[in-house]
Copies of this chain bind each other. A is one copy, B any other.
Amino acid sequence: MFEERVGRVLHNMEEMGLEQMIISDPPSVFYLTGRWILPNERLLALYLNKNGNNKLFINKLFTVDGDIGIEKVWFSDTDPACRMIADCTDHEKPLGIDKKMAARFLLELMELGAGSSYKNASECVDGARRIKDGEEKEKMILASRLNDEAMARFRGLIKEGVTELEVAAGMCAIYKELGTEGPSFGPLVSFGANAAIGHHKPDGTVLKDGDCVLFDVGCKKNSYCSDMTRTFFYKSASEKGREVYEIVKKANLTAQAAMKPGMKFCEIDKVARDIITEAGYGPYFTHRLGHCIGIEVHDAGDVSSANQDIVQEGMIFSCEPGIYLPGELGVRIEDLMLITADGAVSLNRDSKEMEIIG
């Protein structure tokens, strides 16, 4: 167990009026224990209590080597695992639950009266994860440095006659060569009008002259994620493409320059959105400005018009404005930003100047 991290979770629990909670989400268990346990449909439960009666409930099918500073309680597929947990919880006190616990376990714990009430207490651990400690910052910086190296090489995949799927496959090979654990999400490769489609997955579309080329890509290194988007043009760029590119770049840079601790997330979103809206493209920036990132590509928390939370030193999130013109093109420019004492630094160094390739 990382005691300092556990201490922060317990502190957050206290602020929420909780003395006990169950954490079941594997990335959060990894965050606190340093071990990846992927139970699939089976139960995994890290029980925390302010009195120090912490326990990790794990199915015997999985392995957790060595002493990790917490009592391990093993159960088999035929053992009453929820009953074993309920035998350990304080039935007279509210029980915090993390957001992804499967309904079948929660409903069974409720039937067993494991707590006096049940509260979604994910924010206790999500809030701790949102502020990176020194070790995490180093890992995030390394993952993004490797992503920069990858992006430099990805430019070489933009060739006559290539398909989106071929480029995506080439990216996976490059991530492997760079010694990463692979992509942190399926690389998004979109040519031309495909770049205007939200969640477009690489397909057999062939690159053609004048296409924009959108790469939204990231890798994992030491279990931490990177995530970056660059948009290029193949052989030539239309007037509209150039105009849109410069607006998106300005939104990206201006929002980054404005970031500092003490702001609200929604205020950062507004800086970027105002620039795009003033340029007349407001309706074509169809998503939030960014999302928190760390052990997961989408850690809890986002940079959106709805998020009133305060930005704090040590947070890392994406800054990814975009303009999408249906049937025509899409441009998005994304970096990961680390909030510092008096501003923010980008974890990505890859150039954002408009580039025509080929």
Contacts and interface: CB of A to CB of B under 8 A. Distances in A.
Interface stretch (A104-112, A153-161, A229-237, A248-256): A104-112
Given A100-B102, A298-B41, A288 B77 contact: yes
Contacts of A341: none
Interface stretch (A5-13, A116-124, A207-215, A315-323): A116-124
Contact of A119 (B40, B41, B78, B107): B107
A62 B103 contact: no
A40 B297 CA distance: 12
Interface of A: 40-41, 61-63, 77-78, 97-104, 106-108, 118-120, 122, 198-199, 288, 298, 304-306
B107 A118 contact: yes
The SS class assigned to the A binding surface is: loop
Given A61-B198, A120-B108, A306 B102 contact: no
A102 B102 CA distance: 5
A304 B100 CA distance: 28
7 contacts: A62-B199, A77-B288, A97-B107, A102-B102, A103-B103, A104-B120, A107-B120
Given A62-B199, A199-B62, A106 B104 contact: no
Contacts of A120: 103-104, 107-108
A103 B120 CA distance: 7
Contacts of A119: 107
Contacts of A102: 99-103
Contact of A99 (B40, B103, B305): B103
Contact of A106 (B106, B122, B305): B106
A122 B198 CA distance: 32
Contacts of A304: 77-78
A78 B307 CA distance: 10
A306 B78 CA distance: 7
Contacts of A108: 120
Contact of A98 (B98, B103, B118, B305): B103
A98 B62 CA distance: 25
